[in-house]
């Protein structure tokens, strides 16, 4: 199936869904909506097609030190896998290198690889942390995610101001002092 055939198939299903929601899909304003929405959904889930390891391995550099590296407040936009509604916020990543550091922009790209798919925030945190550790050979990685979930804000409990924080760590970040150092760095 070509990419255009895939978009056309998604658009055709979206057209049916809009009809079932009570819309007249032939009206002017909705004429191109199924195609546009299909392309948007394809983009928002394009992380499935990117190999996270090759993103990281293209930008590994030798480095003698073993002090913590922290990248703070990387924006992300994802879709919750329970409602297919957006959740979004900021991600901070800390890692302790072991002979190799990774280009800083690549950390942000790795965030996109795992955010641009259907997710839950807990797994998003874990996948970023564990993949960076595996691909860089870091001594440890910690990932803190603050997210706002539209499925909580727009429906159900309608909690407008709640945010969700998840933390995932591995390796040397089992050490609570090192986690405290990370939390101080991103505060
Ligand atoms: Zn949800």
The burial class, CB within 10 Å (0-12 / 13-18 / 19+), for 33 is middle
Mean of pLDDT over the chain:
95
CA distance 6 to 15: 14
Across the range 87-94, mean pLDDT stands at: 98
Pinpoint the alpha helices (H) of 31-155: 33-44, 52-57, 104-115, 121-136, 150-153
Please check the confidence at residue 180 and state whether its pLDDT lies above 90.
Answer: yes
If we measure between CA atoms, which residue out of 46, 47, 29, 121 comes closest to residue 82? 121
C-alpha of residue 104 to centroid of ligand 1, in Å? 30
Across the range 49-76, mean pLDDT stands at: 91
pLDDT band of residue 158 (cuts 50, 70, 90) is: low
Which residue in the list 75, 81, 122, 174 is annotated as catalytic? 81
For the question of residue 148 being annotated catalytic, the response is no
Please check the confidence at residue 161 and state whether its pLDDT lies above 80.
Answer: no
Structural domains in the chain, sorted by start? 3-44 (1.10.286.10), 52-186 (3.30.1130.10)
- How confident is the model over 15-58, as pLDDT tens digits? 999 999 999 999 999 999 999 999 999 999 999 999 999 989 88
For the question of residue 168 being annotated catalytic, the response is no
């Amino acid at each position: 199936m070509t990419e255009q055939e895939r978009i056309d198939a998604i658009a055709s299903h979206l057209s049916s869904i809009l009809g079932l929601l009570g819309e007249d899909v032939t009206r002017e304003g909705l004429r191109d909506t199924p195609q546009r929405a299909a392309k948007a959904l394809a983009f928002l889930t394009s992380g499935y097609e990117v190999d996270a390891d090759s993103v990281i391995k293209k930008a590994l550099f030798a480095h003698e030190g073993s002090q913590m590296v922290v990248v703070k407040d990387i924006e992300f936009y994802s879709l919750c896998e329970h409602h297919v509604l957006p959740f979004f916020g900021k991600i901070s990543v800390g890692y302790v290198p072991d002979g190799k550091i990774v280009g800083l922009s690549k950390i942000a790209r790795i965030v996109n690889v795992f955010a641009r798919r259907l997710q839950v925030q807990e797994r998003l945190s874990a996948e970023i942390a564990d993949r960076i550790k595996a691909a860089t050979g870091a001594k440890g990685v910690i990932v803190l995610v603050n997210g706002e979930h539209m499925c909580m804000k727009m429906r159900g409990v309608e909690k407008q101001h709640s945010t969700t924080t998840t933390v995932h760590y591995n390796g040397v970040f089992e050490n609570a002092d090192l986690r405290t150092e990370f939390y101080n760095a991103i505060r």
